[in-house]
Amino acid sequence: MKKIIALLLAAVMVFALAACANNGGSEEAKGMSESPIAEVALKADYEVPADFKIGFICLHDENSTYDLNFLNAVDKIKEALKLTDEQVIVRVNVPEGNECYVAAKDLVTEGCKIVFANSFGHENFMIQAAKEFPNVQFCHATGTKAHTEGLDNYHNAFASIYEGRFLAGVAAGLKLNEMIEAGKFTAEEAKMGYVGAFTYAEVISGYTSFYLGAKSVCPTVTMDVQFTGSWYDATEEKNAAEALIARDCKLISQHADSMGAPGACEAKGIPNVSYNGSTYESCYETFIISSAINWAPYYNYIIGQVVKGEKIDADWCGGIAEGSVVLTGINQDVAAEGTFEKIQALVEDIKAGKLNIFDTANFTVGGKAVENYKADVDTDAAFQPDTEVVDDGFFHESEYRSAPYFDLRIDGITLLNEKF
Amino acid sequence: MKKMNFHIVKREPMAWYKSVLVRAAAIVAALLVSAVVITILTGKNPFEVYASMVSGAFGSSLRIWSLLQNTAILLCISLAVTPAFKMKFWNCGAEGQVLISGLATTAVMMFLGDSLPYPVLLLVMLAASVLAGVIWAVIPAFFKAMWNTNETLFTLMMNYVAIQFVAFFLKYFVKSGSGVLAPMPEHGLPVLAGQSYLLNIIIVVALTVLVYIYLKKTKQGYEISVVGESENTAKYIGINVRKVVVRTLVVSGALCGIAGLLLVGGTNHTISTTTVDGRGFTAIMVSWLGKFNPVYMVMTSFLIVFLQRGASQVSTDFRLPSAISDIVTGIILFFIIGCEFFLQYKILSAKNRKEND
């Protein structure tokens, strides 16, 4: 009996070794590379006075990857500008309700010159506070109303994260190509899955740019999208990822804030392109790359404007050049050969303005090329399209306001459900 | 047979100064235990943590107003559930009753705010929210009175119905993706002396006095006590139990309606599914801890709100997960509830018992 067990164990070990050898090409893990986008250093051409204070309002705390991303940027700017604990006040777990207005007022009473809030649903309450305190600057990430509200002290900000998602999509496409070449499936079977939170422009813009990135290197790729109806729901996100894997999706990406989808991918051995930050630590067998927004450049900008006594733009959208759009390193044990070099080259193209992500030559809607399209850019009571956004052969995302408004349903992507 | 080696015996009522001392000792003990827990779990200095709690509740005039305002709302909801509880009608539906009243207030502010003159608007808001609260409370009371259905389950389920109603109407009210209804302070309750929360506080103080008189000094209040003590006694002395049940729930619902009005019209000026934020349930604890006495309930609701405000300040000052402050709140409440037990009962070892006999 013992001998049989010993034999079995030996056989298992041999298989395990063989599997490793297949997977990475060698037995040793190569780990993470550098980021293909060189880091942009935070530069401050101003001196922050000792009595300057800034307050941050976050929907959740460090446990949400979305909020963690904002909090990490707070730490970065604090270090770069040598701000003290008294100068930077952070309020976490502030719901999208009257609590946000009270928290904003409280930060003003504490002496903050700038109040920043990070969640879409905070917007109305930030505007309410902004009307009450005209001498304090209220900055809101992901909001849509600053350009129509007409307040001098209320501002929106975002980043052209679709560029980051496109690049992450390229990494996904290259991985699919590698799997096709290895004979794991045919080019026609190359299908990705995407776990989205809500069927809003922000998510649509994100998954479309991701898909276009993949398609630019793997032309036969298609994609299924499943929405969860929540920004943070680990169970729903896991279920959605598993459902997509069961539908034969060969690679998964997500736009939702828990570890649900990456965790499901790791458990099933399906490659994953992540968001908000690296999930390599817990998913080192499947993580490829992640795009994220770095908010530190925006913090640097608003603090600088206030210290210098200059106006803050109603809408601010940072890109790769500003250091607002970043990529993590690439997991060299999972990503296809040559991913790093390919992305690096594309980064240069984007910086040089040679690559438009939403180039109308690269996608169709209902089988037809898009020649013009009116988007609902102004958030008003009408909820009607109001601005022409296709011009010069591409869709002008984040130009007429910082928050995304790309909401076209392009061919090749199937929505399995919709959640508003 | 194995003998129990201790007994629990009801105490004689304690002198008032003794009972105050016991309660103070309980709070001190709770703070000490919490201090140890904080130090072990987080390595922070517990005194700094307590200082941050106090500053969260009293640190600025805004925070004091906010503390009083939140106490007023919690107290108002606690006043609402008290008559029902005193009658041993387990109304776990305050959450839904307040929420549905808030929804009624919101709807009036939204659709009639621009067309009605302001004084009329206020009256319509009051009528709509009280009516909504009463309907939500009377439905389970009616079923209980007529067919003796289980009011705990019924009122709990009504909460979910109310939450889903709000979710449904928010989809209808708000067409943008956020699902957040923009606040409408222009249609809110009047602001007294430049203090937006003052009116809420005055109204709740008045309600506290009224509910106290209603429960202690009126025939209806007496009937509630009798039905609560023994339904059969009530029937025997000719009280119409069904009528008392439904009437008391009308009072409960109306008070929840006022809470909803104050919360939406006086504070938030908007609504979401979490506007009541569990206060319908916390109110049950406030009411029990205050022994159904509106005057004691002022203190218990103040204590609970102080702990909540302080705790959220701690988690934000020290960037600790909010669970830590929940643990501290839990420890403090545990000691306070525990000391109530020891104020009413004493534990005797079997040996002592014998000697006593």
Interface pTM (ipTM) of the complex? 0.77
Closest Cα of chain A to B178: distance in Å? 5
B251: closest CA among B83, B101, B128?
A: B83
Candidate from B171, B181, B315 with C-beta closest to A92: B315
- Cβ of A420 and B171 within 8 Å? yes
- Cβ of A95 and B274 within 8 Å? yes
The 10s digit of each residue's pLDDT in A22-61 is 444 445 778 888 888 888 888 888 888 999 999 999 998 8
Q: Does residue B101 belong to the interface with chain A, where contact is any CB pair within 8 Å?
A: no
Tell me what pLDDT residue A36 has. 87
Mean pLDDT by 10 residues, chain B (357 residues): 72 79 86 84 81 87 91 95 90 93 94 90 95 94 89 92 91 74 85 86 95 93 89 86 90 95 92 88 89 90 87 78 77 85 79 53
Q: Summarize the confidence of residues A227-252 as an average pLDDT.
A: 91
Closest Cα of chain B to A94: distance in Å? 10
CA distance A161 to A206: 7
Structure tokens belonging to residue B205: 């103080």
Lowest mean pLDDT among A15-19, A380-384, A390-394, B266-270: A15-19
Crossing angle, helix B151-173 and helix B94-112, to 10 degrees?
Answer: 30
Tell me what pLDDT residue A25 has. 45
Closest Cα of chain B to A200: distance in Å? 6
For chain B, how are helix, strand and coil distributed in percent, rounded to 5? 75, 5, 20
CA distance A408 to A373: 9
Candidate from B175, B180, B312 with C-beta closest to A124: B180
- Cβ of B62 and A106 within 8 Å? yes
Tell me what pLDDT residue B178 has. 65
Decide: residue A385, CB within 10 A, 0-12 exposed, 13-18 middle, 19+ buried.
Answer: middle
Domain ranges of chain B: 67-306
The 10s digit of each residue's pLDDT in A304-353 is 999 999 999 999 999 898 899 999 999 999 988 899 999 999 999 988 88
Do A103 and A43 meet the contact criterion of CB atoms below 8 Å apart?
A: no
Q: Cβ contacts (< 8 Å) between B267 and chain A: which residues?
A: 98
Lowest mean pLDDT among A90-94, A121-125, A382-386, B205-209: A382-386
Share of chain A above pLDDT 90, in %: 53
CA distance B263 to B317: 27
Mark out chain A residues that contact chain B at CB-CB < 8 A: 61-63, 90-93, 95-98, 101-102, 105-106, 109-110, 120-121, 123-125, 127-128, 144, 198, 200-202, 379, 383, 420
Structure tokens belonging to residue B169: 């109407």
Beta strands per DSSP E along chain B:
6-10, 345-349
Residue where the block lists tokens 């990070």: A118
DSSP class of residue A352?
Answer: T
Q: Which of B106, B170, B180, B279 to mutate to test the interface with A (most CBs of A within 10 A)?
A: B180
Closest chain B residue to A132, measured at CA:
B185
Q: Summarize the confidence of residues A243-264 as an average pLDDT.
A: 91
Tell me what pLDDT residue B40 has. 85
Tell me what pLDDT residue B134 has. 95
Tell me what pLDDT residue A26 has. 47
Candidate from A98, A128, A201 with C-beta closest to B267: A98
- Cβ of A96 and B180 within 8 Å? yes
How open is the CA angle B63-B67-B68, to the nearest 5 degrees? 120
Closest chain B residue to A378, measured at CA:
B176
Q: Which of A63, A94, A102, A148 to mutate to test the interface with B (most CBs of B within 10 A)?
A: A102
- Cβ of B62 and A105 within 8 Å? yes
The answer, yes or no, to whether residue A420 has pLDDT greater than 80, is no
Helices (H), A81-221: 98-109, 123-132, 146-149, 161-181, 201-217
Tell me what pLDDT residue B353 has. 53
Q: Does residue B69 belong to the interface with chain A, where contact is any CB pair within 8 Å?
A: no
* Domains of chain A, each with CATH number or no CATH: 54-159+295-318 (3.40.50.2300), 161-293+324-415 (3.40.50.2300)
In chain B, residues 226-285 whose CB comes closer than 8 Å to chain A: 267-270, 272, 274-275
Structure tokens belonging to residue B218: 């009126």
B47: closest CA among B63, B34, B57, B58?
A: B34
Q: Cβ contacts (< 8 Å) between A142 and chain B: which residues?
A: none
Q: Cβ contacts (< 8 Å) between B171 and chain A: which residues?
A: 420
Closest Cα of chain A to B36: distance in Å? 25
Tell me what pLDDT residue A21 has. 46
Closest Cα of chain B to A179: distance in Å? 38
Q: Which of B269, B316, B325, B326 to mutate to test the interface with A (most CBs of A within 10 A)?
A: B316
CA distance B139 to B91: 12
Decide: residue A313, CB within 10 A, 0-12 exposed, 13-18 middle, 19+ buried.
Answer: middle
Q: Cβ contacts (< 8 Å) between A200 and chain B: which residues?
A: 177
Integer distance in angstroms from the first to the last C-alpha of chain B? 21
- Cβ of B177 and A120 within 8 Å? yes
The 3-state DSSP class for residue B34 equals helix
B125: closest CA among B106, B111, B100, B105?
A: B105
Q: Cβ contacts (< 8 Å) between B175 and chain A: which residues?
A: 383
Q: Summarize the confidence of residues A389-412 as an average pLDDT.
A: 88
